[in-house]
Amino acid sequence: MTQGWLEGRTALVTGGATGMGRAISESLSGAGARVAIGSLAKGANLNSAAYAHLPDDDEIGKAVAAIKAQGGDARAFPLDLRDEQSVDAFHQATVEALGPVDILINAAGVSAQALITDDDSDGVWQTVLDINLNGPYRTIRRCFPGMIERGWGRIVNIASTAANVGHERNAAYCASKHGLLGLMRCVALEGAPHGVTCNAINPGSVGTGMMKRGSEIRASLGQGGDWEENFGLTAQAMPQGRLITVEEIAATALFLCRDEARGITMEDIDIAGGALW
């Protein structure tokens, strides 16, 4: 693939400082795109049992520095997907610093492990749905009109294998990811006449900080010893006997941004090594 084929393009990546989002940010920059990274910082209150790997200032700085060290142009801005004003400010700051958004990657998300009957079930539901589903809706609402006007755009939502199955203790997470696929399909149809594609990637178990946190919670519930043992058991249970890497997710997201991928829209693509969950 030709280097620099995204020269002149601007990408907005939510959750771009860690895990899959960071790998995608670096891949887009490597192809020539200017990249805006949006992150909810460590210490933010999620107001429920929902969890995510939230980066501190040092981790956010390192994500930007890694791109700049490769000769890329990257900026980091605060982002709380639950807050309309925060999403507005992030989008405006991106446009002012890097130009109109051509590529939107919705990689930010939270997870939760709670029974529907738990005392905190309502709080978990509201937090997970607001970040995982309402958040991408809010970023798409800001970026989509400009893409349509300019006749080119790429939107990639990081969903999950949970978007197509159910699992106990994951009602909010599964519902949010099911909803994200529905949103993706509608955006794809609205964008199709205007050169804008919208797709979803459904990762299976990926070796990220959020997965580590999930293993810690499962271990606390008596599932698989300590978190390291639980982490290892998850990998062993995969049909390929391994976790998916962030680089695999990034490579697929990058391909979906190519001109040659313009015929791929309204698709949800599993990258799970054969796993259903």
Q: Catalytic site residue 173?
A: yes
Quote the pLDDT of residue 177.
98
Quote the pLDDT of residue 221.
76
Asked if 146 and 243 touch (Cβ cutoff 8 Å), the reply is: no
Spatial separation of the C-alpha atoms in residues 248 and 163, rounded to whole Å: 19
Domain chopping of the chain, boundaries: 10-204+244-266, 205-243
Spatial separation of the C-alpha atoms in residues 89 and 138, rounded to whole Å: 12
Quote the pLDDT of residue 222.
79
Q: For all residues of the chain together, what is the average pLDDT? A: 95
Q: Which of 51, 77, 144, 173 is catalytic?
A: 173
CATH of segment(s) 10-204+244-266: 3.40.50.720
Pick out the chain residues at pLDDT < 50.
Answer: 1
Quote the pLDDT of residue 1.
38
Q: Which amino acid is at 230?
A: N
Question: Which of 210, 268, 197 has the alpha carbon at shortest distance from 243?
Answer: 210
Quote the pLDDT of residue 232.
86
Question: Which of 258, 277, 268 has the alpha carbon at shortest distance from 6?
Answer: 258
Spatial separation of the C-alpha atoms in residues 96 and 58, rounded to whole Å: 24
pTM check: above 0.85? yes
Quote the pLDDT of residue 248.
98
Task: Specify the pairing of strand 34-39 against strand 196-203.
Answer: unpaired
